A and B are shown apart, each in its own frame.
Chain A
Amino acid sequence: MIPKVSLDNIDLSFPDASRPDGRKVIYEDFSLQIEKGSFTVLLGPSGCGKSTLLNIINGLLKPNNARGIVIDGTDLRSEPDLSRQMAYVFQGPRLLRWKTLAENAEFGLRGLGVQPREKWRDLIDKYFRAVGLGDAQHLYPHQVSGGMRQRASIVRAWVNEPQILLMDEPFSHLDEITAAEMRRILTNLWTSEEERRTIVFVTHDISEAAQLATDIIMLTPAPSRICLRRKVDLPWPRRMDSDEVIAVEKELRHAFAERAGIGF
């Protein structure tokens, strides 16, 4: 395995007055490797620190202690600009309501400093068309549906052509039909590129994990540890109701019950 991201011996805790020792431990001596070009899904119950991991990888959150936060062999702490190779998709679209969808995408390009600038217009057009919003890119967020806003937020991230795409439960606020369509759009985008980007996707939805992942990393409740790591070698496109995906889903449910102590 060629690791794209490597977290070595991470310690992270937050002050918590309700606990006897005054701290809530999220990670203790936690290590994780994410394979280059994989669609890695971090699966775990709410509060186990999945989103926190994304923030550590992105350099937005500094752990109390860490032997290494390594991107492509270089420690992020010594080379903070490495985080410019990453883009984030949040739970909600987090679009600027005073900018059109296209201007929101351009805002991301401007922030990450993608060069050359002359390419921006083509990139924006290309990815808005890819997610079926070619004609809607000049509308304001309030003029489009929730699903369209979330598609625009995916474009805002993807348009930077990041090496690592961090996605924090991006479809959890959508209705199931829209979410299914979004998963199809996302996997189409991801599989359509010759050199696949590394995606780190956080979810607590086992079905979603089974359908999307090439690698599943299952976390226990905090203090988190990895209780299962599994590859999913199924062809694309995948259907959520296919026997193979359902079999993976069942296995994950059993693993959750056995290893994380959470039953369904």
Chain B
Amino acid sequence: MLRFDTSAALAQIASVVVLLVVWAAAAIIVDMRALPAPWLVFGTLGDLILSGQAFVPLGETLGRTLAGFALGMVLGTGYGIAAALSRTFRELTLWLLQISIFTPTLILIFLFLISLGRSNLTVIVLVGLVVMPVVGTYIRDAMGDFEDELTEMADSFKIGLRERVTGMYLPFLVPPLLAAGRVAFTLAWKVAFLSEIFGFPNGIGWQVKTGYDIYNIQLLLAWLMLFIFVLLIAEQLMRLAQRRFVKW
């Protein structure tokens, strides 16, 4: 059953209010052109939304993010299960995985945009490949907690690989998948955003870059707010999914 935690909600609201007050105070103290006040930024954001200008760039970035996120989740989950079940596979791919985690994302973005061209597919593949090792590591480590007793039970009932994956491993992995999904979506969103800044004439990233190029900090921050709101909404959806799907 869902229960509303009033004190937690009040604490969260208080933290947002404090942040806005500090922002407003700082905006009053410094030059408004360098740091516009929150009401100006939210005013611009409201204009962007009400005029419909926000939706096309939002849809472009969100589309690339979701496609790359889905690719990364599927590849990462497959990798995590395989790495947990096969020691050989785990050892063979360990260095590759670590290198892909350690490589700075910006270098990957440059490399992909230059090598594969500035297409939607490039960003989707890039986002998928950046997300995959993070999800894979989560899932591989979570699979380590899978009870040997359940594996023995499955052996005794002659459960085949397909049924093991769909009936045992994936349901077992729902909580870690949701946890990994929250981190992975944030990462996917940021990578798609950065790719747009460096290589696309559309999407939220490009809008922010435009704001920077014309030194319109108010516009830049309004787009940034939109960027953050999407992440906050995604986070809440993931939490809801966790409550909905994890009944046991």
- Give me the 3 closest cross-chain CB pairs, A-B, nearest first: A111-B157, A88-B156, A98-B171
Distance between A158 CB and nearest chain B CB, rounded to angstroms = 13
The answer to whether residues A60 and B157 also contact, given A92-B149, A111-B163 and a CB cut-off of 8 A, is: no
Q: A58-B156, A84-B158, A87-B156 are in contact. List 13 more A-B contacts (CB 8 A).
A: A88-B156, A90-B153, A94-B149, A98-B171, A98-B172, A98-B247, A107-B159, A107-B163, A107-B167, A110-B159, A111-B154, A156-B157, A166-B156
State A60–B152 Cα separation when bound (angstroms): 9
A108 to B160, CA, bound (A): 11
* Docked CA distance A185–B172 (Å): 31
Q: A179 on the interface (CB 8 Å rule)?
A: no
Nearest chain A residue, comparing its CB with the CB of B158: A111
B149 and A96 form a contact (CB under 8 A): no
- Among B167, B168, B171, B172, the most chain A Cβ lie within 10 Å of the Cβ of B167
Residues on B with C-beta less than 8 A from A97 are 248
Total contacting residues, chain B, CB less than 8 A: 19
Give residues of chain A (88-137) contacting chain B, Cβ–Cβ below 8 Å: 88, 90, 92, 94, 96-99, 107-108, 110-113
* B174 cross-chain contacts in A, Cβ below 8 A: 98
Please give me the residue from chain A that is nearest to B174 by CB atom: A98
| Closest A residue to B163 using CB positions | A110
A83 is an interface residue with CB less than 8 A from chain B: yes
Tell me whether A230 is interfacial, beta carbon within 8 Å.
no
Q: Would you call A141 an interface residue if the criterion is a C-beta within 8 Å of the partner chain's C-beta atoms?
A: yes
Q: Does B248 contact A142, Cβ atoms closer than 8 Å?
A: yes
Say if the beta carbon of A140 comes within 8 Å of chain B: yes
**B155 within 8 Å of A by Cβ?**
yes
* A positions within 8 Å CB-CB of B: 58, 60, 83-84, 87-88, 90, 92, 94, 96-99, 107-108, 110-113, 140-142, 156, 166
* Residue from A92, A108, A141, A156 within 8 A of B248 (CB atoms): A141
Q: A94-B153, A141-B248 are in contact. Are A111 and B159 (CB under 8 A)?
A: yes
Chain A CB within 8 A of B150 CB: yes
Q: Specify which chain B residues have a CB less than 8 angstroms from the CB of A58 in the assembled complex.
A: 156
Question: Min CB distance, A87 to chain B, in Å?
Answer: 7
Bound complex: CA A84 to CA B159 (Å): 11
Counting residue pairs across A and B whose Cβ atoms lie within 8 Å, the total is 55
Within 8 A of A (CB), among B138-163: 149-150, 152-160, 163
Report the minimum CB–CB distance from B51 to chain A (whole Å).
47
Closest chain B residue to A54, Cβ basis? B156
CA distance A113 to B158 in the complex (A): 9
Query: What are 21 sample pairs from A and B whose C-beta atoms fall under 8 A apart?
Result: A58-B156, A60-B155, A83-B158, A84-B158, A87-B157, A90-B153, A92-B149, A94-B149, A96-B168, A96-B171, A97-B248, A98-B172, A111-B154, A111-B160, A112-B157, A112-B158, A140-B247, A140-B248, A141-B248, A156-B157, A166-B156
A122 to B98, CA, bound (A): 51
Bitwise, B58-82 to A at CB < 8 A (1) or not (0) is 0000000000000000000000000
- Cβ–Cβ contact B248 & A107, under 8 A: no
Binary A-proximity of B35-71 (CB < 8 A = 1, otherwise 0): 0000000000000000000000000000000000000
> Across the interface, which residues of A come within 8 angstroms of B171, CB to CB?
96, 98-99
Give Cα A88–Cα B152 distance, bound, in whole angstroms. Answer: 10
Residues of chain A lying within 8 A (CB to CB) of residue B156? 58, 60, 87-88, 90, 166
Distance in Å: Cβ of B2 to nearest Cβ of chain A: 18
Partner pick for A94 among B150, B159, B163, B167, CB 8 A cutoff: B150
Cα–Cα distance between A94 and B153 once the two chains are bound (Å): 7
| A11 to B164 CA separation, bound complex (whole angstroms) | 32
Please state if B158 and A96 are interface contacts (CB–CB under 8 Å): no
Task: Write the B7-34 contact mask toward A (1 if CB under 8 angstroms, else 0).
Answer: 0000000000000000000000000000
CB atoms of B167 and A96 under 8 A apart:
yes
The residue in chain B whose Cβ has the minimal distance to the Cβ of A81 is B158
Residues of B close to A96: CB separation below 8 A: 150, 167-168, 171
Within the complex, the shortest CB–CB distance from A114 to chain B, in Å, comes to 11
How many angstroms between the C-alpha atoms of A97 and B153 in the bound complex?
13
Q: How far is the CA of A251 from the CA of B150 in the complex (A)?
A: 38
Alpha-carbon distance A58/B157, docked complex (angstroms): 10
CB neighbours (8 Å) of A60 from chain B are: 152, 155-156
Report the separation of the CA atoms of residues A81 and B129 in the bound assembly, to the nearest whole angstrom: 42
Chain A residues positioned under 8 Å from B155 (CB to CB): 60
Q: In the complex, what distance in Å separates the CA atom of A256 from the CA atom of B152? A: 31
A90 CA to B248 CA, complexed, in Å: 22
Contact B149 A90 (CB under 8 A): yes
Chain A residues within an 8 Å CB radius of B150: 94, 96
- Produce 1/0 per residue, B164-192, CB < 8 A to A: 00011001101000000000000000000
For B168, the chain A residues whose CB sits under 8 A away are 96
